[in-house]
Amino acid sequence: MNIAIEEESNAYILRLSGELDASTCLDLDQEIQLALGKPIEQLWIDFEALSYISSAGLGVLISHMGTLEDRNIPLVLYGMSEHVRNVFELLGLHLIMCIVPSKKDAILQEK
| 73 backbone dihedrals φ, ψ, rounded to 5° | -110, 110
Residues sharing a CB contact under 8 Å with residue 17, sequence separation 6 or more, in sequence order = 1, 2, 3, 4, 49, 50
Say how far residue 31 (Cα) sits from the centre of its chain. Answer: 11
Please, what are the domains in the chain? 2-100 (3.30.750.24)
pLDDT in tens, 9-43: 889 999 999 999 999 999 999 999 999 999 999 99
The model carries a pTM of: 0.95
